[in-house]
């Protein structure tokens, strides 16, 4: 397997230092964000591209276009601007997340959004990485539904899935769809008290021996089914973000995962 690094793993580390840290960890693929930290809002795309080239890393994706499945208001303009930025900074893809506030979004609206987004991505040579969110309030919880929508939109050449080990577990999904997967996000939950239905982003830590999400089993299954893309660390827990030595912590998690495989 090959590891990648999402900037939310160490959001307090500056962009250039984050790229250098990733490289030292042997992760030459990285993800930048437009939230935590807001690299897209704070850095000119050309400077991001230059920093990545200097560090010897490639940018897998920008996280994230949200809510991609509600194609109204300012979302079309936001999508075009993010796609322009991705193209200019050298990113290969945009992560696309669905509405996650308890509001239902119809299957037809999901398909319409994928159709509308398709030309924006194609014109810039980008992949759309659709990431179902497993939360009970999510408007798109499963990869199976995402695939149905991609097929209905005729987007098989444009879209891939993000298999997020946290969201896969929360959704209770048992199929893996390795052939559809373009990126895997990995994080663990170790809190023994929280129920699966109550798990939220702040519970997401680095994967270790106390992980409740069966990351090792998920990774083994994806590899066995032919997935050969990157596994990108994406912990959201404040205690991970506040670590004094993020690099050492990530290396420990990498070693644990490798030993488990």
- 47-86: per-residue pLDDT in tens? 999 999 999 999 999 999 999 999 999 999 999 999 999 9
Residue ranges of the chain whose pLDDT lies below 50: none
Q: Under a CB-based contact definition with an 8 Å cutoff, are residues 27 and 1 in contact?
A: no
Predicted model pTM: 0.97
Q: Residue 131: its pLDDT value, please?
A: 98
Q: Under a CB-based contact definition with an 8 Å cutoff, are residues 96 and 118 in contact?
A: no
Q: Residue 27: its pLDDT value, please?
A: 98
| 246 Cα distance to chain centroid | 19
Which helix (H) or strand (E) segment holds residue 168: the answer is helix 165-171
Alpha-carbon torsion, ordered 28, 184, 147, 134, to 10 deg = -140
What does the alpha-carbon distance between residue 51 and residue 35 come to, in Å, rounded to a whole number? 19
Q: Residue 99: its pLDDT value, please?
A: 98
Distances (CA, A) of 240 to 133, 187, 221: 21, 11, 27
Q: Residue 174: its pLDDT value, please?
A: 95
- Which of 151, 74, 83 lies closest to 117 in space, CA to CA? 83
Q: Residue 122: its pLDDT value, please?
A: 98
Which helix (H) or strand (E) segment holds residue 141: the answer is none
In 16-57, beta strands by DSSP E = 29-33
Task: Provide CB contacts within 8 A for 17, sequence distance 6+.
Answer: none
Which helix (H) or strand (E) segment holds residue 5: the answer is strand 2-6
What are the tokens at 98?
């669905």
What does the alpha-carbon distance between residue 32 and residue 95 come to, in Å, rounded to a whole number? 10
Task: Provide CB contacts within 8 A for 98, sequence distance 6+.
Answer: 66, 67, 68, 69, 105, 110, 131, 132, 133, 138, 139, 140
pLDDT for 11-51, tens place per residue? 999 999 999 999 999 999 999 999 999 999 999 999 999 99
If one counts every other C-beta atom within 10 angstroms of the C-beta of residue 257, the result is 22
Which helix (H) or strand (E) segment holds residue 94: the answer is strand 93-96
- How many H helices and E strands in the chain? 10, 8
What does the alpha-carbon distance between residue 240 and residue 250 come to, in Å, rounded to a whole number? 10
Domains of the chain, with CATH numbers?
A: 2-260 (3.20.20.150)
**Dmax (CA) of the chain:** 48
Q: Under a CB-based contact definition with an 8 Å cutoff, are residues 105 and 133 in contact?
A: no
If one counts every other C-beta atom within 10 angstroms of the C-beta of residue 13, the result is 18
- Which of 205, 206, 210, 221 lies closest to 261 in space, CA to CA? 221
């Amino acid at each position: 397997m090959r590891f990648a690094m999402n900037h939310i793993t160490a959001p307090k580390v500056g962009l250039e230092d984050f790229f250098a840290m990733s490289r030292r960890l042997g992760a030459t693929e990285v993800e930048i964000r437009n939230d935590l930290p807001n690299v897209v809002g704070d850095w000119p795309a050309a400077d991001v591209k230059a920093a990545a080239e200097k560090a010897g890393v490639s940018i897998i994706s920008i996280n994230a276009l949200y809510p991609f499945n509600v194609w109204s208001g300012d979302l079309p303009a936001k999508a075009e601007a993010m796609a322009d930025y991705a193209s200019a900074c050298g990113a290969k893809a945009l992560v696309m997340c669905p509405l996650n506030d308890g509001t239902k979004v119809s299957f037809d609206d999901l398909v319409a959004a994928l159709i509308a987004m398709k030309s924006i991505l194609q014109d810039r040579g980008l992949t759309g990485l659709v990431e179902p969110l497993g939360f009970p309030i999510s408007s798109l919880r499963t990869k199976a539904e995402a695939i149905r929508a991609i097929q209905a939109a005729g987007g098989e050449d444009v879209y891939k899935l993000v298999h997020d080990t946290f969201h896969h577990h929360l959704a209770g999904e048992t199929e893996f769809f390795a052939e559809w997967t373009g990126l895997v996000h990995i994080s663990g939950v170790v809190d023994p008290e929280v129920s699966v239905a109550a798990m939220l982003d702040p519970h997401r830590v680095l994967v270790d021996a106390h992980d409740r999400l069966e990351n090792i089993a998920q990774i083994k299954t994806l590899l066995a089914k032919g997935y050969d893309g990157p596994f990108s660390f994406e912990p959201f827990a404040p205690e991970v973000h506040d670590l004094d030595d993020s690099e050492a912590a990530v290396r420990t998690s990498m070693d644990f995962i490798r030993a488990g495989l």
